[in-house]
Amino acid sequence: MPRSLDRQGSYATLLLAVLLALIVAVPVAHAQDSGSETVLSKMSFHMYSLVYSSSNSSIFVYNGADTNPPTYSSPPTVAVSCSVRQSAQVWFSEIDAWLGGVSWITQPLAEDMTIRGSVSMTVWMSTPDPAPAASGYVFGISEVDSMGTPVGEPIYQYYYGYGNVFSGSATPFTLVFSADQTYTKGNIIGFFVIVGSTTQGWRYQVYFDSPSANSSAELPVLTVPVPEFSQIGIAIVFTLTVFSSYVMARRRNSRRLRQTIGKSIGSYAT
């Protein structure tokens, strides 16, 4: 491969690595319960109602997530634009990446809920747009308290690659990540997908709440204290619209990020 093309590909890889470093957080603290067996519980993502959408179609939040089966015979579909800018200083220039995301939220928990083991999260997605230089996605779980304040750190997993990570037709994408976390009674859990692209305004579609496209999460839990849906306070909903991962991203240690980028560039240069 010509060096110019090799450099361009490596640059795209480094860009997506930086992008995903910006939108994920450090691992969560471990739960303290012991001696209990977990049960696998499937949380389907529903469109009971749209509680928030941004004006540029980059962020959507839905009620809700629970153990009820899918609602619709044909899947509701939301078109998301990767229009939230994230910048990083790479080598001698500033590089822009563009994000867009969807979240499904639970009702306030009826009691503490402990997730322990491997979480499997599946989201059906596609894109109508041409391939960018690189793209990727993050699946994860976040938590807020009754005042709408983020609690702890999100848990997550991610994937990225050259070009287009999606196809033109609805396809299930699954990521598995480890969890050992207790969520507190009265708090709300948000399940989120965040997609990143090197192209501003790059669009993708999410399908859910149907047997034919059941976006969902399988959780190893000690209990499943998620009540049926009712009205949720606007303060909590608004907090979840920006996703806990976005909040945590801006708290990351910038020095450590610059060191990581520097090492990556140094390795490439040699």
Task: Find the helix or strand (DSSP H, E) in which 241 lies.
Answer: helix 234-241
Asked if 35 and 175 count as a contact pair (C-beta separation under 8 A), the reply is no
The sign of the CA dihedral 178, 105, 217, 39 is positive
Whole-number Å distance between alpha carbons of 112 and 260: 37
How high is the pLDDT of residue 96? 77
CA distances from 60 to 77, 78, 248 (A): 12, 8, 19
How many CB atoms are located within 10 Å of the residue 227 CB?
11
Secondary structure (DSSP) of 32-79: ---S---EEEEEEEEEEEEEEE-TTS-EEEEEEEESSPP--SS--EEE
Whole-number Å distance between alpha carbons of 151 and 263: 32
DSSP state of 224: -
What's the whole-model pTM score? 0.76
How high is the pLDDT of residue 22? 45
| Count of structural domains within the chain | 1
Q: Which domain holds residue 101?
A: 3-269
How high is the pLDDT of residue 86? 80
How high is the pLDDT of residue 106? 92
How high is the pLDDT of residue 123? 98
How high is the pLDDT of residue 146? 77
| CATH number of the domain bearing residue 109 | 2.60.120
Q: What is the pLDDT along the chain (270 residues), one digit of tens a residue?
A: 333 334 344 444 444 444 444 444 333 333 444 456 778 999 999 999 998 899 999 999 999 899 999 999 999 999 999 998 887 655 555 677 899 999 999 999 989 999 999 999 999 999 999 999 889 999 999 998 877 788 888 888 989 888 999 999 999 999 999 999 999 999 999 999 999 998 999 999 999 999 999 999 999 997 655 555 554 444 444 444 444 444 344 444 444 444 433 443 333 334
Bridge partners of 119? 177
